[in-house]
Amino acid sequence: MLIVGAQVKDINYDTLVELIMPYLVAWLSEKDNKFYGLVSKLISKEGKPNRFSRFIVSALPKKTELAVRILPHFDDMLMEYINNRLDKNQISARVKELKAGTIERSSRKMLRIEFVIDEVDYEKTSENLLPIILQQLSEKEDQTSKLPRILMSMKKLPRQVVGAAVRAIPKEQRDEVTSIFLNEYKEELTSLLNTLLIQNNIQAEVRELKVDTK
């Protein structure tokens, strides 16, 4: 299993609530409890945030600290949301655990979030993400951008090479090798994650990414 930790700053909680509200409403509706049904009606309208929930989010102070307290109560719903996002972005893996905390940098509170990821299909995921990774690397303004540009011009060959390389690594060692590789290219991976946030209309910035094994 992989443990992916990151710091997240500049979170726009209004847009975040907009995105997760359909999942939150569905999660609440699955509970056989009148109170949860009442909460769902109170905070949403047709699966979207209503004026009341938007007002509450905008009025709450210390949103990051509050988010850390609330997240454990909705971790199943959040993992379902994240796994749906992984599927949408052609990443064949599953988030099994989610932990959150706060960290202070330059007198500023940021969200510290950690995911435990399992059931990774490395061959499928590497094939799907390779074009995006090569694009990120090719945009760097240094000598390291030359090889990605050459590989991008070779059409299917890079995928075949990466697929062969993944298959050559014993399954029990793939998590460790992936951890080493991702930490080596954590700046590029961070940039990729921020690009995916933008593409999914999530206003936040990921920084100081770290990958380990469990």
Residue type, 56: I
Q: CA separation (Å) from 171 to 53, 177, 207?
A: 46, 10, 29
Residues in CB range of 23: below 8 A, 6 or more apart: 77, 78, 80, 81, 84
For residue 187, what pLDDT is reported? 83
Q: Judge whether residue 164 has pLDDT over 80.
A: no
pLDDT of residue 69: 85
Cα separation, 69 vs 38, whole angstroms: 22
What gap in Å lies between CA 56 and CA 168, rounded to an integer?
53
Closest CA to 6 of 214, 201, 187: 187
24: closest CA among 50, 51, 59? Answer: 50
pLDDT of residue 118: 92
Burial class, 95, CB count within 10 angstroms (exposed 0-12 / middle 13-18 / buried 19+) = buried
- Mean pLDDT value across residues 96-107: 87
Residue 188 has pLDDT above 80, yes or no: no
> What per-residue confidence (pLDDT) applies to 141?
63
Give me the count of residues in the chain: 214
Taking residues 133-147, what's their average pLDDT?
64
CB atoms within 10 A of CB 160: 12
pLDDT grade, residue 155 (50/70/90)?
A: low
Of 188 and 69, the structure prediction assigns the larger pLDDT to 69
Closest by CA to 9, choosing from 128, 125, 102, 91, is 102
CB count in 10 Å sphere of residue 112: 18
116 vs 171, which has greater pLDDT?
A: 116
Check whether 158 has a pLDDT greater than 80.
Answer: no
Q: What is the mean pLDDT of the chain?
A: 83
Which one is predicted more confidently, 158 or 3?
Answer: 3
Nearest-CA neighbor of 189 among 165, 208, 166?
208
Of the spans 32-36, 90-94, 135-139, 163-167, which averages the highest pLDDT?
90-94
Of the pLDDT bands very low, low, confident and very high (cuts 50, 70, 90), residue 151 is low
Q: What is the DSSP letter of 200?
A: T
- Say whether 111 sits in a helix, a strand or coil: strand
Check if the beta carbon of residue 16 is closer than 8 Å to that of residue 201.
no
- Would you say 174 and 166 are in contact if contact means Cβ atoms under 8 Å apart? yes
Is the model's pLDDT at 157 over the cut of 70? no
pLDDT at 6: 92
pLDDT of residue 149: 63
pTM over 0.85: no
